[in-house]
Amino acid sequence: MSLETRPKPVVDNWNRPFWEAAKEHRLLIQRCTETGKCFFPPAPVSPFTGRPKWEWISASGKGELWSFVVFHQNYFAGMKDEMPYPVAMVKLPEGPFLLTNLVDMKIEDAKIGMKLSVRFAGGPQGFVLPQFGPMEA
């Protein structure tokens, strides 16, 4: 698996819980406690109020394929073996979008609007990357 040679995430004080949870195969996002709306990437405050009033929640792990691209140009040495590779924009039912990869399916079968679910196959050393594949029937 070349997931091990993927670029490592930039870990900061706000997204550290997200990456720790991913190792345990949980998808964490922040929820604004005043509006109930979720947001991502992790931040010190809710973008809906500007206040540091939020909580971590476990997302359902479901998503809908909003759009996708296929990279033919390589920008990362550690991803050379994966060329060409897809990147998907997935809309979570909780609200936020994630940029992620499509796995366990052929890119030819990707259809905007299709239902997806999260996978935790692996990642660069010390990390697990949430990726998405077709929702099991």
Partner 1 sequence: MTAPPDTALAAPVISTPWALRDKVAFVGIGTTQYGNFPETDSFGLGCDALNQALDDAGLRPSNIDGLIVNRIPSYERFAEMMGINPQYCLLTETPGRFSGVSMALATQAIATGAAKTVALVYGNNGRSVRMTYGGGDSQWSPWGMTSPGAIHAMMWRRHMHQFGTTHTDLGHVSVAFRSHACLNPVAVMHGRPITLEDHANARPICEPLKLLDYCLINDGAVAWIMTSAERAKDLRKPPVLLSGYARQDAFHYGSAPPDDFWYPSLSACRSVYDRAGLGRNDIQGLGIYDNFTPTVMFSLEGLGFCKQGESGEFVRGGTLQLGRGRWPTNTSGGHLSDSYMQGWGIIAECVRQLRHECGERQIPNAQAMQYICATNIAQSAILRRAA
Nearest distance, CB of residue 95 and partner 1, angstroms: 6
Among 5, 20, 45, 71, binds partner 1 (CB under 8 A): 71
CB-based contact 55:17 (threshold 8 Å): no
At residue 19's C-alpha, the angle toward residues 41 and 57, to 5°, is: 65
> Binding segment for partner 1 among 53-61, 83-91, 114-122 (CB under 8 A)?
83-91
Neighbouring C-alpha atoms within 13 Å toward the C-beta of 25: 6
How far apart are the C-alpha atoms of 82 and 18, rounded to whole Å? Answer: 25
131 binds partner 1 (CB under 8 A): yes
Number of residues that bind partner 1 (CB under 8 A): 42
If one counts every other C-beta atom within 10 angstroms of the C-beta of residue 52, the result is 10
Residues lying near partner 1 in the complex (CB under 8 A) are found at: 6-10, 37-41, 47-48, 66-73, 75-76, 79, 82, 84-85, 87, 89, 95-101, 112-113, 123-124, 127, 129, 131
